[in-house]
Amino acid sequence: MFAPPMSDPGAPSAPPASMFDNVPGYEGTLIGGGGFLPPPVPSVPMPMPEPGHTHPEWNIPSITEETAREAFVMFASSKCCYSSGPAKDGVITRMDAFNTYRYRLETFSESRSTEWSQEPYNGQPVDAFTQAVPGPWDIPAQAPAFFNDHTQVIRVPYTSSVKNCYACVGMGRSPCKDCAGAGNKVCWVCNGSGYRHGDDRCSHCNGRGRENCTHCSGQGSRACPTCHGRRQILVFINLKIKWTNHNDVYVVEQASGLKVDNLSKVSGKEMYKDTQYLVFPVSGFPDRAVVGASERLVREHQANYSQTSRILQQRQIIELIPITKVSYMWKGKSCVYFVFGNEFKVSADDYPAKCCCTLL
Ligand SMILES: [Zn+2]
Ligand SMILES: [Zn+2]
Ligand SMILES: [Zn+2]
């Protein structure tokens, strides 16, 4: 009978490094990924970023009392335990605008890494050393639409070769883990004694005390999981191309009392949008904080994402987010709520007529 090599602790779980060929241009390629490949220095000069065009007017919109009240009534009715009284009957005493700017910078980049991979050999084409291997950044790939994350894996041409399977040492089989290679194990019914209830012979194992291992059909070994019993594996380099949209947001502080994380749920009025290969920090914008944030983020993005990856496109957007603080009186009590964003979202932490929800 076939005698498989005994596993544990001997069998290698990872292929030895010596199994992989030395491929020029791919020296950093690892087993298991992480082989990181900086893009080559471009041979033609990079286009310089250009200052954006002049801005439209920075009008500040405001909402009417009617809009504020409608939004508030909708808000109260969406909460099961808010009575509608304050929203419907509260008397608005004051409305103040605390509109703010949100600056967003997106950098869309492409990065490439390589790793040695393997699969059972079934007669696939073997092309190692038949031609020069193209450099990792010379392999063409179809980029997705800008600003959309995507990953593509490409087998690097002329790197595929056939090797003996390291896991089974080319035998095609590996010992069954369930029976430790024996092909049988202790009978679970009689626990190995061969007898039940005194002198009754165990009918499950016919008194043998052992039963065939069902996992390997009594053979003691199974097809090697690495080569699927083929004895040989194909090894090759995979190139992983990752397109990533890096997104950073800066919101100008405002003193309304509305917490800033509320604003991530709403959109604003787009005041400025600039999409280019490399953007230039916004200039001439009336709010100095936005200009400062743009300078900082553009500098950080271009430093961070041009070393490890290739920047394909950048986009910067300034939005004006309307925020209105509404003060009102209800049953002699003075309260406030906020209406913000294009969606007229409402925040009212001190809503005066909540009934049941004291659940914690
Ligand atoms: Zn077995
Ligand atoms: Zn038995
Ligand atoms: Zn194998």
Residues 138-173 have pLDDT tens digits of 999 999 999 999 999 999 999 999 999 999 999 999
Mean pLDDT of 30-40: 68
| Separation CA 8–CA 177 (nearest Å) | 9
46 is a domain residue: no
Write the CA distances from 81 to 75, 76, 331, 339, integer angstroms.
11, 8, 19, 20
79 is a domain residue: yes
Contact 319, 61 (CB under 8 A): no
- The answer, yes or no, to whether residue 43 has pLDDT greater than 70, is no
All residues at 6 or more sequence positions from 156 whose CB lies less than 8 Å from its CB, including other chains? 23, 26, 114, 133, 134, 136, 139, 236, 237, 238, 239
Mean pLDDT of 29-48: 65
43 is a domain residue: no
Question: How many A from CA of 120 to the centre of ligand 1?
Answer: 23
Question: How many A from CA of 148 to the centre of ligand 3?
Answer: 40
Judged by its nearest atom, the ligand closest to the C-alpha of residue 201 is: 2
pLDDT at position 4 is: 45
Contact 259, 266 (CB under 8 A): no
pLDDT at position 60 is: 46
**Hey, how many other C-beta atoms are within 10 angstroms of the C-beta on 25?**
17
pLDDT at position 9 is: 47
pLDDT at position 169 is: 92
- The answer, yes or no, to whether residue 71 has pLDDT greater than 70, is yes
235 is a domain residue: no
3-state secondary structure of 239: strand
Reading the block at residue 321, the tokens are: 């987010």
3-state secondary structure of 106: strand
Q: Are strands 232-251 and 161-164 parallel, antiparallel or unpaired?
A: antiparallel
Reading the block at residue 58, the tokens are: 């920075």
Judged by its nearest atom, the ligand closest to the C-alpha of residue 202 is: 2
Question: How many A from CA of 122 to the centre of ligand 3?
Answer: 13
264 is a domain residue: yes
228 is a domain residue: no
Question: How many A from CA of 186 to the centre of ligand 2?
Answer: 8
Domain tally, the chain: 1
pLDDT single digits (tens) 301-310: 999 998 889 9
Question: How many A from CA of 106 to the centre of ligand 1?
Answer: 56
* pLDDT over 90 percentage in the chain: 60
Whether the full predicted model's pTM is greater than 0.75, yes or no, is: no
Reported confidence tier of residue 113, pLDDT bands at 50, 70, 90: very high
pLDDT single digits (tens) 186-217: 999 989 999 887 788 998 999 999 999 999 99
295 is a domain residue: yes
3-state secondary structure of 83: coil
Domain that holds residue 98: 65-107+243-347
268 is a domain residue: yes
Judged by its nearest atom, the ligand closest to the C-alpha of residue 173 is: 3
